[in-house]
Protein backbone atom coordinates (compact mmCIF):
# COMPACT_ATOMS: atom_id res chain seq x y z
CA UNK A 1 0.00 0.00 0.00
CA UNK A 2 1.29 3.44 -0.90
CA UNK A 3 1.97 5.95 1.80
CA UNK A 4 0.18 9.28 1.43
CA UNK A 5 2.49 12.05 0.34
CA UNK A 6 3.35 14.75 2.79
CA UNK A 7 2.19 18.17 1.65
CA UNK A 8 4.88 20.47 0.38
CA UNK A 9 5.87 23.39 2.56
CA UNK A 10 3.93 26.51 1.60
CA UNK A 11 6.91 28.22 -0.03
CA UNK A 12 7.60 25.24 -2.34
CA UNK A 13 3.90 24.91 -3.14
CA UNK A 14 3.82 28.59 -4.18
CA UNK A 15 6.94 28.13 -6.32
CA UNK A 16 5.42 25.14 -8.08
CA UNK A 17 2.18 27.03 -8.69
CA UNK A 18 4.08 29.95 -10.25
CA UNK A 19 6.44 27.80 -12.31
CA UNK A 20 4.04 27.82 -15.30
CA UNK A 21 4.50 31.59 -15.52
CA UNK A 22 8.27 31.36 -16.03
CA UNK A 23 9.51 29.86 -19.26
CA UNK A 24 11.97 27.05 -18.65
CA UNK A 25 13.64 27.38 -22.03
CA UNK A 26 14.15 29.94 -24.74
CA UNK A 27 12.19 27.69 -27.10
CA UNK A 28 9.15 27.80 -24.78
CA UNK A 29 9.39 31.57 -24.51
CA UNK A 30 9.61 31.93 -28.31
CA UNK A 31 6.43 29.82 -28.68
CA UNK A 32 4.56 31.98 -26.17
CA UNK A 33 5.66 35.18 -27.87
CA UNK A 34 4.71 33.94 -31.35
CA UNK A 35 1.29 32.86 -30.08
CA UNK A 36 0.63 36.38 -28.77
CA UNK A 37 2.07 38.21 -31.79
CA UNK A 38 -0.14 36.23 -34.17
CA UNK A 39 -3.24 37.64 -32.47
CA UNK A 40 -2.66 41.05 -34.08
CA UNK A 41 -4.70 41.62 -37.23
CA UNK A 42 -2.76 41.80 -40.50
CA UNK A 43 0.45 40.58 -38.87
CA UNK A 44 2.79 37.99 -40.40
CA UNK A 45 4.98 36.26 -37.81
CA UNK A 46 7.66 33.67 -38.44
CA UNK A 47 10.13 31.83 -36.27
CA UNK A 48 13.53 32.15 -37.87
CA UNK A 49 15.85 29.20 -38.49
CA UNK A 50 17.93 28.09 -35.55
CA UNK A 51 20.61 26.23 -37.50
CA UNK A 52 24.04 27.38 -38.68
CA UNK A 53 22.55 28.80 -41.89
CA UNK A 54 20.60 31.28 -39.76
CA UNK A 55 23.38 31.88 -37.27
CA UNK A 56 23.14 35.29 -35.65
CA UNK A 57 19.68 36.05 -37.03
CA UNK A 58 16.96 37.08 -34.54
CA UNK A 59 14.53 34.38 -33.43
CA UNK A 60 11.31 36.04 -34.61
CA UNK A 61 10.46 38.09 -37.69
CA UNK A 62 7.23 40.09 -37.70
CA UNK A 63 5.79 42.19 -40.50
CA UNK A 64 2.70 44.30 -39.98
CA UNK A 65 1.45 47.13 -42.17
CA UNK A 66 4.76 47.17 -44.04
CA UNK A 67 6.91 47.51 -40.91
CA UNK A 68 9.49 44.86 -40.04
CA UNK A 69 10.29 43.97 -36.43
CA UNK A 70 13.00 41.45 -35.60
CA UNK A 71 13.08 40.00 -32.08
CA UNK A 72 15.95 38.18 -30.43
CA UNK A 73 14.49 36.19 -27.53
CA UNK A 74 16.59 35.55 -24.44
CA UNK A 75 15.77 34.16 -21.03
CA UNK A 76 15.87 36.77 -18.24
CA UNK A 77 19.44 37.61 -17.31
CA UNK A 78 20.91 36.56 -20.67
CA UNK A 79 21.98 38.84 -23.51
CA UNK A 80 22.62 38.65 -27.25
CA UNK A 81 25.95 37.31 -28.47
CA UNK A 82 28.40 39.56 -30.33
CA UNK A 83 27.43 37.89 -33.64
CA UNK A 84 23.74 38.47 -32.93
CA UNK A 85 24.45 42.13 -32.13
CA UNK A 86 26.33 42.59 -35.43
CA UNK A 87 23.42 41.10 -37.37
CA UNK A 88 20.96 43.30 -35.45
CA UNK A 89 22.95 46.42 -36.38
CA UNK A 90 22.79 45.40 -40.06
CA UNK A 91 19.02 44.87 -39.79
CA UNK A 92 18.64 48.23 -38.10
CA UNK A 93 20.55 49.94 -40.91
CA UNK A 94 18.24 48.20 -43.40
CA UNK A 95 15.25 49.83 -41.70
CA UNK A 96 13.94 47.12 -39.36
CA UNK A 97 13.01 47.61 -35.74
CA UNK A 98 15.25 45.33 -33.70
CA UNK A 99 14.89 44.27 -30.07
CA UNK A 100 16.26 41.82 -27.53
CA UNK A 101 13.30 40.68 -25.45
CA UNK A 102 13.08 38.64 -22.25
CA UNK A 103 9.30 38.25 -21.88
CA UNK A 104 6.03 38.24 -23.79
CA UNK A 105 5.33 41.77 -22.52
CA UNK A 106 8.65 43.11 -23.83
CA UNK A 107 7.98 41.45 -27.19
CA UNK A 108 4.52 43.02 -27.47
CA UNK A 109 5.95 46.44 -26.58
CA UNK A 110 8.69 46.09 -29.20
CA UNK A 111 6.15 44.98 -31.81
CA UNK A 112 3.96 47.99 -31.06
CA UNK A 113 6.96 50.30 -31.48
CA UNK A 114 7.84 48.47 -34.70
CA UNK A 115 4.44 49.35 -36.17
CA UNK A 116 5.47 53.00 -36.32
CA UNK A 117 7.23 54.50 -39.37
CA UNK A 118 10.71 54.94 -37.91
CA UNK A 119 13.14 52.07 -37.54
CA UNK A 120 14.25 51.77 -33.97
CA UNK A 121 16.89 49.98 -31.99
CA UNK A 122 15.63 48.45 -28.75
CA UNK A 123 18.71 46.60 -27.61
CA UNK A 124 19.39 46.91 -23.87
The residue ranges of every structural domain in the chain are 25-122
Q: Which segments within the chain are labelled E, that is strand?
A: 43-47, 60-64, 67-73, 97-101, 121-122
CA–CA separation, 80 and 99 (whole Å): 10
Going by pLDDT thresholds of 50, 70 and 90, the confidence category of residue 109 is very high
pLDDT tens track for 49-70: 766 666 899 999 999 988 999 9
Q: Taking the model in full, what pTM does it have?
A: 0.74
pLDDT at 14 over 60: no
pLDDT tens track for 81-94: 999 999 999 999 99
CATH number belonging to the domain at 25-122, selected among 3.30.365.10, 3.30.420.40, 3.40.1350.10, 3.40.190.10: 3.40.1350.10
Going by pLDDT thresholds of 50, 70 and 90, the confidence category of residue 11 is low
Q: Give the number of other Cβ atoms within 10 Å of residue 64's Cβ.
A: 18
Amino acid sequence: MLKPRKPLPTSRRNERAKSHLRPTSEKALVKRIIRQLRKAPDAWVKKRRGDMAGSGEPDIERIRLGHVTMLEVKLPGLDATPLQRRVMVQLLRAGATVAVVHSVEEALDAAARGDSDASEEIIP
